[in-house]
């Protein structure tokens, strides 16, 4: 366990060091070396924790009895909560956002009151490390460390292209490391008050990074993210208060161990689920994540794709055993399934690369949410797998889009036409990332396969419909993007590679992680996930994806790989004559221009179909948010009202 504290405080130390480093060379050196050391410590801790718990033995829990150090840390947490409230108050007054002060107060004050009056329950383990915690540590440490290294080169180019933005890379990178520190605290905490403190830190850092440019749009979007996450924090507070006064319990582990039939258990579960909805940008709270895309790409990749938004679904996975067959589970599956389907429809109509990734992230978080709400081991297995594969693949996609934007000046998918010729290495990396999102045997499809089986076994027809149609639309927008990379016009030219080597190293390593996850997911399921699920659900969980399923997926991958090879055989010994495209007899001679009816030369262009008139934001976004809001209100009332009655 000392390794955990070393990792936590080392990451915090790097954050402080970066903040006070105004020299670019010194700061970038601290970021690079610090990230590497952090990743090594992260892997070392995970290896130690796995060995200490023992294969299949469950978890390590630590009570941390009252000592001077623990009491001091409790006081640090209370001081931190007060500081966060004051920071939000000052910034809210500055920008006239008074409602954020109220939301921060009603979320923070009750928890502080519990601590100050001695009513906080601390007779249970403060920390819990199990295989899910270990997997989350690997995601946070490895993906987070790589993104921090990537930010060195990215921020240099970002401020070169955005001269109207005040150059504050020291602040941006410091917040990245502080965020990683908070995530380490959140995923290792079992005490709900401790978890709430780190939960609120992640919300505040997200708010600060979204508003990094200090432009009007960024400030507006940052406060939208803040108030929505503070609203979820209030739900977390209600769960803490109810557990403390009704069950004399402050531990998430003890809450999970309680019988589902225990009177009122659905109340804290529904409140925690509500908090998770806001953190993971589920409808109707999804607009804050769309607005977060104004922030520089590393924050989109780290906070708003790989880690912060995963904190919400991580909490849902933790409490999944408590959602079996009750209205809290119905609420979670309904909101998650609907979000998956609606967000995937909205992604079809987008051509801005980051906006497609934002809607795709919301959609996939919805699928993870729906799996968690089923309350069955197979569905929870699928949720964990989806979390892992999505974190790596989507963070890689965000970094690719950021690099392309810095290199070409655009992140529009239409401007990525023929990237296989213009930037062949980038096209390869993006292809792996896109395939990781929707092709077999890459993990997202593997997990969807398991989710479909779990939905069918649980007789949840609505979720099956959401999954089938949502997956079809997912394939549509990823297929469009992938096709754009390989659609090549005659005489396309290779662009000069201006992407920093450090950025390439990071993208290559994430590409390798995507492929590694694809090759090792059966091992991950057997060694890490199944023993944890057996312990949490109190039943022996066997193999979720059978060897026959794996063989079918491998056959699908082989057939995909063979298609271009078979195409080459069909073209052997065929004599083809290269001709210009026929443009009503008016080709201007280079396959890129044609002569119009007035004799003028106009450029020709091949564009994807975005169906904005059917699936555009103006058509279905507001109705989708209204439907989701109605679902949340009605199901929360039914769940809590039924428990009280």
Per residue in 397-427, pLDDT (tens digit) is 999 999 999 888 888 898 888 888 888 889 8
Which residue would you say has higher pLDDT here, 344 or 616? 344
On the question of pLDDT at 301 being above 70, the answer is yes
Question: d(Cα 167, Cα 171) in Å, to the nearest integer?
Answer: 9
For residue range 94-127, list pLDDT tens digits in order: 999 999 999 999 999 999 998 888 777 766 678 8
Q: What is the pLDDT of residue 414?
A: 87
Helices (DSSP H) in 258-352: which residue ranges? 266-279, 287-291, 297-301, 308-318, 327-348
Pairing of strands 601-603, 593-595: antiparallel
On the question of pLDDT at 214 being above 80, the answer is yes
Query: Poorest-confidence range of 213-227, 468-482, 567-581?
Result: 567-581
Residue 191 phi, psi (nearest 5): -70, 125
What's the mean pLDDT in 589-596? 72
Token pair listed for 597: 């009816």
Peptide bond into 441 cis (omega under 30): yes
Q: What is the pLDDT of residue 225?
A: 94
Q: What is the pLDDT of residue 454?
A: 80
Query: Poorest-confidence range of 11-25, 47-61, 519-533?
Result: 47-61
Question: d(Cα 481, Cα 297) in Å, to the nearest integer?
Answer: 19
For residue range 390-404, list pLDDT tens digits in order: 899 899 999 999 999
Nearest 10 degrees: Cα torsion 450, 454, 459, 463: -60
On the question of pLDDT at 88 being above 90, the answer is yes
On the question of pLDDT at 39 being above 70, the answer is yes
On the question of pLDDT at 223 being above 90, the answer is yes
Q: What is the pLDDT of residue 550?
A: 64
Token pair listed for 330: 């119905």
Contacts (Cβ under 8 Å, ≥6 apart) of 36: 145, 149
3-state secondary structure of 195: helix
What's the mean pLDDT in 265-269? 91
Query: Which residues on adjacent β-strands are paired with residue 412?
Result: 352
Q: How many CB atoms lie within 10 A of CB 296?
A: 21
Token pair listed for 523: 């091992």
Which residue would you say has higher pLDDT here, 206 or 435? 206
Query: Which residues on adjacent β-strands are paired with residue 61?
Result: 128
Length of the chain measured in residues: 645
In order of 195, 231, 468, the CA distances from 177 in angstroms are 18, 25, 39
197 closest CA partner among 209, 185, 208: 185
Question: d(Cα 208, Cα 212) in Å, to the nearest integer?
Answer: 6
Band (66; pLDDT cuts 50, 70, 90): low
Question: d(Cα 199, Cα 233) in Å, to the nearest integer?
Answer: 8
Q: What is the pLDDT of residue 195?
A: 93
Contacts (Cβ under 8 Å, ≥6 apart) of 320: 372, 373, 374, 375, 379, 380, 383, 536
Helices (DSSP H) in 487-526: which residue ranges? 501-524
Q: What is the pLDDT of residue 462?
A: 85
3-state secondary structure of 402: helix
Q: What is the pLDDT of residue 57?
A: 54
User: Locate tokens 């804050």: which residue?
Assistant: 288
Please say whether the dihedral angle defined by the alpha carbons of residues 441, 445, 450 and 452, taken in this order, is positive or negative. Answer: negative
Token pair listed for 2: 């000392």
What's the mean pLDDT in 368-397? 90
What's the mean pLDDT in 189-204? 93
Pairing of strands 59-62, 593-595: unpaired
Q: What is the pLDDT of residue 627?
A: 94
What's the mean pLDDT in 546-558? 65
Question: d(Cα 58, Cα 61) in Å, to the nearest integer?
Answer: 10
Peptide bond into 617 cis (omega under 30): no
Q: What is the pLDDT of residue 442?
A: 62
Cα atoms in the 13 Å half-sphere on the side-chain side of 444: 25
Question: d(Cα 538, Cα 86) in Å, to the nearest integer?
Answer: 44
On the question of pLDDT at 618 being above 80, the answer is yes
Band (448; pLDDT cuts 50, 70, 90): confident
339 closest CA partner among 276, 394, 285, 298: 285
The angle at the Cα of 419, spanning 414 to 422, to the nearest 5 degrees, equals: 125
On the question of pLDDT at 563 being above 60, the answer is no
Residue 379 phi, psi (nearest 5): -70, -35
Q: What is the pLDDT of residue 553?
A: 62
What's the mean pLDDT in 196-219? 94
Return the axis-axis angle of helices 443-457 and 461-486, rounded to nearest 10°: 160
Inter-residue contact 529 to 447 (CB < 8 Å): no
On the question of pLDDT at 141 being above 70, the answer is yes
């Amino acid at each position: 366990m000392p390794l955990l504290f070393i990792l936590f405080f080392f990451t915090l130390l790097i954050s402080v060091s970066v903040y006070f480093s105004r020299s670019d060379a010194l700061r970038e050196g601290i970021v690079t070396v610090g990230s590497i050391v952090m990743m090594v410590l992260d892997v070392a801790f995970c290896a130690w924790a796995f060995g200490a718990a023992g294969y299949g033995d469950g978890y390590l829990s630590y009570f941390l009895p009252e000592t001077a150090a623990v009491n001091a840390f409790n006081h640090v947490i209370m001081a931190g909560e007060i500081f966060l409230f004051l920071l939000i108050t000052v910034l809210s007054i500055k920008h006239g956002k008074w409602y954020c002060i109220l939301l921060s107060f009603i979320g923070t004050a009750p928890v502080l009151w519990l601590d100050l009056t001695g009513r906080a329950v601390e007779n249970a383990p403060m920390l819990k490390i199990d295989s899910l915690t270990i997997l989350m540590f690997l995601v946070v440490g490895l993906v987070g460390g790589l993104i921090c290294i990537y930010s060195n080169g990215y921020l240099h180019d970002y401020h070169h292209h955005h001269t109207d933005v005040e150059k504050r890379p020291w602040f941006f990178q410091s917040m990245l490391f502080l965020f990683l520190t908070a995530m380490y605290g959140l995923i290792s905490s079992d005490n709900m008050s401790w978890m709430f403190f780190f939960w609120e830190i992640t919300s505040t850092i997200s708010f600060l990074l979204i508003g990094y440019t200090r432009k009007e749009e960024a400030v507006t979007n940052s406060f939208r993210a803040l108030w929505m996450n503070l609203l979820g924090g209030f739900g977390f507070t209600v769960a803490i208060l109810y557990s403390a006064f009704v069950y004399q319990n402050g531990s998430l582990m003890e809450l999970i161990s309680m019988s589902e039939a225990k009177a009122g258990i659905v109340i804290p579960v529904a409140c925690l689920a509500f908090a998770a909805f806001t953190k993971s940008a589920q409808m109707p709270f999804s607009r804050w994540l769309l607005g977060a895309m104004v922030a520089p790409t590393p924050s989109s990749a780290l906070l708003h794709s790989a880690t912060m938004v995963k904190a919400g679904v991580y909490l849902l996975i933790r409490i999944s055993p408590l959602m079996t067959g009750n209205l809290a589970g119905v609420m979670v599956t309904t909101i998650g399934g609907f979000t998956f389907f609606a967000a995937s429809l909205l992604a079809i109509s987008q051509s801005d690369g980051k906006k497609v990734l934002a809607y795709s992230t919301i959609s996939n978080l919805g699928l993870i949410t729906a799996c968690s709400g089923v309350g069955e081991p197979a569905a929870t297995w699928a949720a964990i797998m989806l979390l892992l594969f999505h974190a790596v693949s989507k963070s890689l996609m965000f970094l690719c889009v950021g690099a392309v934007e810095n290199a070409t000046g655009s992140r529009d998918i239409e401007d990525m036409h023929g990237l296989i010729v213009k930037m062949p290495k980038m096209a390869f990396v993006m292809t792996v990332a896109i395939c990781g999102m929707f092709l077999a045997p890459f993990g997202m499809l593997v997990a969807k396969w398991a989710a479909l089986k779990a939905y069918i076994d649980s007789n949840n027809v609505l979720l099956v419909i959401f999954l089938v149609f949502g997956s079809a639309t997912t394939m549509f927008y990823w297929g469009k993007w992938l096709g754009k990379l390989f659609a090549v016009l005659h005489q396309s030219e290779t662009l000069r590679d201006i992407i920093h080597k450090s950025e390439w190293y990071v993208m290559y390593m994430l590409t390798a992680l995507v492929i590694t996850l694809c090759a090792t997911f059966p091992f991950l399921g057997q060694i890490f996930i199944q023993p944890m699920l057996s312990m949490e659900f109190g039943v022996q969980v066997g193999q979720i994806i059978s060897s026959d399923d794996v063989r079918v997926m491998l056959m699908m991958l082989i057939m995909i790989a063979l298609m271009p090879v078979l195409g080459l055989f069909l073209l052997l010994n065929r004599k083809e004559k290269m001709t210009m495209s026929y443009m009503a007899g008016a080709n201007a001679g280079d396959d890129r221009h044609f002569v119009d009816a007035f004799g003028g030369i106009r450029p020709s262009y091949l564009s994807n179909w975005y169906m904005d008139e059917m699936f555009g934001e103006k058509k279905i976004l507001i109705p989708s948010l209204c439907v989701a809001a109605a679902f949340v209100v009605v199901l929360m009332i039914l769940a809590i009202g039924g428990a009280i009655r």
